């Protein structure tokens, strides 16, 4: 039975890791991550959602009807 020496094992391991790093370093597609930002103001008792792509702002004040904070599309209604 043939045994593999430590040098060959380490070289193979390094090549494998380099291949994985090269695949992981590929450029990611630009998505909507970070597109919406939220800011709340205790004095005005309101929260604002800002669409950083279009500049549109939605306002949700306390006392107004409940809206889905996770989806600014719902605030347009």
Residue 57 located in a structural domain: yes
Cβ(72)–Cβ(46) below 8 Å:
no
Residue 29 located in a structural domain: no
CA–CA distance, 51 with 59 (Å, rounded to integer): 12
Residue 48 located in a structural domain: yes
CA–CA distance, 43 with 24 (Å, rounded to integer): 45
Arithmetic mean of pLDDT over the chain: 76
Cβ(58)–Cβ(72) below 8 Å:
yes
pLDDT beyond 70 at 75: no
Residue 28 located in a structural domain: no
Q: Specify the higher pLDDT residue, 29 or 16.
A: 16
Residue 17 located in a structural domain: no
This model's pTM is above 0.85: no
pLDDT beyond 60 at 67: no
Residue 52 located in a structural domain: yes
């Amino acid at each position: 039975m043939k045994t593999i020496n430590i040098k060959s094992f380490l070289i193979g391991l390094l090549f494998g890791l380099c291949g994985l790093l090269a695949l992981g370093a590929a450029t990611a597609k630009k998505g909507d991550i970070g597109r919406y930002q939220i800011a709340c103001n205790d004095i005005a008792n309101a929260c604002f959602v800002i669409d950083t792509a279009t500049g549109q702002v939605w306002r949700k004040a306390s006392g107004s009807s409940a809206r889905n904070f996770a989806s600014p599309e719902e605030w347009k209604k």
